[in-house]
Amino acid sequence: MGTSRVRLRLAGSIEEIEACIDAELFSRIAEDGQNFDAGKLPFIPGEIYFLIFADDTPIGFWLLYPANGSTLNIHCNIRQAYRQHGKAAARAILEWFVADCPTNYKKLNAEIPFCYPEVYYFTKKQGFTDEGVNRLSILKQGQLVDQWRLGMTRPEVQQRLSKSWDSSET
26-75: per-residue pLDDT in tens?
A: 666 666 666 656 445 566 778 898 999 999 999 988 989 999 999 999 99
DSSP string of 48-70?
EEEEEEETTEEEEEEEEEESSSS
Reference 101, options 148, 125, 66; nearest CA is 66
pLDDT band at 168 (very low <50, low <70, confident <90, very high): very low
Reference 63, options 106, 102, 114, 17; nearest CA is 17
pLDDT band at 139 (very low <50, low <70, confident <90, very high): confident
Compute the average pLDDT of residues 82-91. 95
pLDDT for residue 34: 63
* Domain 6-161 belongs in CATH node 3.40.630.30: yes
Cβ partners under 8 Å of residue 156, min gap 6: 127, 129
Lowest mean pLDDT among 62-66, 97-101, 165-169: 165-169
